[in-house]
Amino acid sequence: MMNPGTQELGFCANSANIWQVVGYVLLVFKIVIPILLIIWGMLDLGKAVVAAKDDEIKKATKSLAMRAISAVVIFFIPTIVGLVFGMISNFGDSGAKEDWEVCRSCLTNPNDSDCSRYAEVAW
């Protein structure tokens, strides 16, 4: 990766603190939203089972399945973002690749030491 003290920084390195905050938000969403979706689905299914109506149970089961699928998709969004940034970083010159690596690092792993180093320089 680029050294913040020796080279002119690119867009991603200059805005590393913003990318780091977005990375933390993605990390929280990656954990909290799937858990909430599954809990709400279980509550709906529990209400339907207590009501003992077959139509409501089928509807709640379908709803729980859709929420579980949504939870898995939301959980893998940071991974998909990392793959997209990995593909993008293969294009262009080496300076651009290193700059994209800063963005990818901050979005997918905001606690990374490289991301933190660039975020401190950007402040």
- pLDDT, one tens digit per residue, over 13-26 is 788 888 888 888 88
In a domain, 4, yes or no: no
Contacts for 17 with CB less than 8 Å, ≥ 6 apart:
119, 122, 123
Look up the domain containing 100 and give its range: 13-122
Asked whether the CA dihedral 100, 24, 76, 112 is positive or negative, the reply is positive
- pLDDT, one tens digit per residue, over 91-102 is 666 666 677 777
Contacts for 122 with CB less than 8 Å, ≥ 6 apart:
9, 13, 14, 15, 16, 17
Mean pLDDT, the chain, whole residue set = 78
- pLDDT, one tens digit per residue, over 66-119 is 888 888 888 887 778 778 777 776 666 666 667 777 777 787 788 877 777 776
In a domain, 80, yes or no: yes
Domain count of the chain? 1
In a domain, 5, yes or no: no
Helix 113-122 / helix 94-108 crossing angle, nearest 10 deg: 100
In a domain, 29, yes or no: yes
pTM comes to 0.65
In a domain, 111, yes or no: yes
In a domain, 57, yes or no: yes
- pLDDT, one tens digit per residue, over 37-70 is 888 888 888 888 888 888 888 888 888 888 888 8
In this predicted structure, what is the pLDDT of residue 1?
Answer: 47
